[in-house]
Copies of this chain bind each other. A is one copy, B any other.
Amino acid sequence: MKIVCKKNDILESINISLRAIPAKTTMPILGCIVIRANSNNIKFITNDMEMAIETIVKGRVIEDGSIAIDAKKFSDIVRKITDEEITIETNEYYMATIRYGNNEASFNCLSDEEFPDLPTVEKQNAIRISQFSLKEIILQTVFSISDNESQKIMTGELFEIEGDKLTVVALDGHRIAIRKITLNDEYKLTKVIIPGKTLLEITKILSGEVKDEINIYFTKNHVLFELENTIILSRLIDGEYYKINQMLSGDYDTKLKVNRRSFAESIDRSTLFIKETDKKPIILDIRDFTMNIKVNSQQGAINENLSVNKEGNDIMIGFNPKFLLDVIRVIDDEEITIYMTNAKAPCFIKNEDESYIYLILPINFNAAR
């Protein structure tokens, strides 16, 4: 194999490929980027056995071939090269020589024959969505998945498509995040659970531009995300997702409007007195025009007051501040609306048209004090 590429093109493709390099692995081949060059098409391929990425690299193919090169080493040397053009050439001993200016670096590599094959996905019935929207709905929900691998389904997100509606749901047993958007076309009913890790990696590859689109294909066990020069293929999580509709009641006794940014800043300060481990709640004491925010700890206390617009009953309620902050930070609206019933019932943060709905369970603050 012999290819000639611009340094920046290689680097861009490496950055995409690295998203499917496992942090740790006992199989050296999975720590590699496979470079495959044939008929004027150069591809980088990576696979962490949950997710695979194939990306096309701009460049010239002088001789066909392939090699599996250690991703970290490859990435490190390319980053440190200051020349514009890079030549990569392999020999029959699986050595790859990278040439730049008058210099060269050689790497002992592996054959790509050991590299796990990617399953073939039939590209039928693409769901088209802008990269901006996909990135947004993932980032506005994915923090609510669980990282507990023993409850596999909670580590993924439900993607449900019905007609022209896409609903994304994440939950971890203490909270639920729901985002709904309208697609440009109608599709047949589809319900899949996509691993949260895959979705997080994808947000790092997506351009975030409204004008850039992405095609999504589903098969029984896989999902394929197709960008302009890159495809990302991931396993789906097997199983039936939780029925969430019955958890979403429309009733409430207190409706509260508060400035999002001030609320976020207050909660953020209050977390200084709460260690992740000791599960102390922040206590919101909500009256007609004021929300009083309180935390008491051995080290000290915080006591803040925010102007609010309240309808319905006064209420005193305790929360894990992190759960509130996670939600408040991803909402774009200047003002947020919170619906509550009592100190033990779920609280909802949602907008008028319910394009986002967040459910958070309160913490019993009498017991916690």
List of B residues within 8 angstroms of A299 by Cβ: 70, 73, 107-108
With contacts A73-B272, A80-B272 taken as known, whether A103 is within 8 angstroms of B266 at the C-beta atoms is yes
Least CB separation from A270: chain B residue? B105
Whether B272 lies near A303 (C-beta < 8 A) is no
Partner of A104, one of B81, B102, B106, B303: B303
Any B CB within 8 A of the CB of A265: yes
List of B residues within 8 angstroms of A303 by Cβ: 103-106
Least CB separation from A96: chain B residue? B300
Any B CB within 8 A of the CB of A269: yes
Whether A73 lies near B108 (C-beta < 8 A) is no
Any B CB within 8 A of the CB of A259: no
With contacts A103-B305, A304-B102 taken as known, whether A298 is within 8 angstroms of B108 at the C-beta atoms is yes
Partner of A265, one of B73, B80, B95, B302: B80
Any B CB within 8 A of the CB of A82: yes
**A297-342 interface (Cβ within 8 A of B):** 298-305
- The distance in angstroms between the C-alpha atoms of A299 and B302, with both chains bound, is 56
**A83-120 interface (Cβ within 8 A of B):** 95, 102-108
Output the least CB separation between A98 and chain B (Å).
9
With contacts A103-B304, A103-B305, A300-B106 taken as known, whether A268 is within 8 angstroms of B80 at the C-beta atoms is yes
List of B residues within 8 angstroms of A273 by Cβ: 105
Count this chain's copies in the assembly.
Answer: 2
Any B CB within 8 A of the CB of A244: no
Least CB separation from A81: chain B residue? B269
Any B CB within 8 A of the CB of A122: no
List of B residues within 8 angstroms of A104 by Cβ: 302-304
List of B residues within 8 angstroms of A73 by Cβ: 272, 299-300
List of B residues within 8 angstroms of A103 by Cβ: 266, 269, 302-305
Any B CB within 8 A of the CB of A76: yes
Whether B269 lies near A106 (C-beta < 8 A) is no
Any B CB within 8 A of the CB of A77: yes
Whether A105 lies near B302 (C-beta < 8 A) is yes
List of B residues within 8 angstroms of A272 by Cβ: 73, 76-77, 80, 105
Known A95-B300, A104-B302; further 13 A-B contacts with Cβ < 8 A: A70-B299, A73-B272, A73-B299, A80-B265, A80-B269, A80-B272, A102-B305, A103-B269, A104-B303, A105-B269, A106-B302, A108-B298, A108-B299
Please provide the 7 A-B residue pairs with the shortest distance between their CB atoms, ordered closest to farther. Answer: A103-B304, A107-B300, A102-B305, A105-B302, A80-B269, A106-B301, A106-B300
